[in-house]
Amino acid sequence: MMKEIEVECPSCSPKEEIGHEVLKEGQSPLVRCLECGQIHAAKIKTPKSVSLKVIVSKKDISNTYKTELDSETILQVDDELVVDDEETGVVCPILITALDAGGKRVKVAKAENTETIWGRAIDEVTVKFSAQEGTEKTEVIEKRVPGDYEFVVGAEEKIGNTRLFITKIKIRDGNFRSRKGDVVLAKYVKRIFARKKGDGSGQRSFRKGPW
């Protein structure tokens, strides 16, 4: 089976990597260009790694870690990243919320140009519900769930002994999901609007007795 790699060809593509067949492996493998047939030794680029500061918020607490990344890695706000801090042994998936690069706040940056990554832990998240009871009373209820837990508009959600029906979900970019069956992962939820299921407490009760 032919093994292929993408490297620059000195004959037909000196500035852009294209497909080559590997003829002989090694630190400088011998390759044949699939475009022009030129046989040459390939220069394999060894990616540099950078150690970046990552500030991770979880509930109301923020912790600072270090993580190693390929210098060419493109970081972007709202992308997921696994922080692996060898010094503390902490491994934590996060959602990137902000990036500091070149002395300013940006939305996209190469790892080698980034000073600080800001993120929100998504292994577990606390989701807030605005639970409506009747026409006037609204209660804020919290539920701790895994980041990949699914909330569904129109579905029932149980928190302790309270049963709620989800009517609308506000996501972190400010938009809403309100169509029945819409699914939002917990890590993307800003707030969930729900209606409390009647427990019958508002119904009249009659005490049996001798009549």
Mean pLDDT computed over every residue of the chain: 88
Does residue 199 surpass a pLDDT of 80?
no
Does residue 122 surpass a pLDDT of 80?
yes
pLDDT of residue 59: 79
pLDDT of residue 209: 43
State the average pLDDT over residues 44-73. Answer: 90
What DSSP state is assigned to residue 198? P
Residue 22 and residue 80: Cα distance in Å, rounded?
A: 34
Is the separation of the CB atoms in 88 and 110 below 8 Å?
no
Residue 192 and residue 185: Cα distance in Å, rounded?
A: 12
State the average pLDDT over residues 15-25. Answer: 91
Supply the pTM of this predicted model. Answer: 0.63
State the average pLDDT over residues 45-57. Answer: 90
**Cα 126 → chain centroid:** 15
State the average pLDDT over residues 63-87. Answer: 92
Is the separation of the CB atoms in 147 and 174 below 8 Å?
no
Does residue 155 surpass a pLDDT of 60?
yes
Does residue 60 surpass a pLDDT of 90?
no
pLDDT of residue 197: 78
Beta carbons within 8 Å of 134's beta carbon, 6+ residues apart:
none
pLDDT of residue 2: 74
Does residue 51 surpass a pLDDT of 90?
yes
State the average pLDDT over residues 189-207. Answer: 66
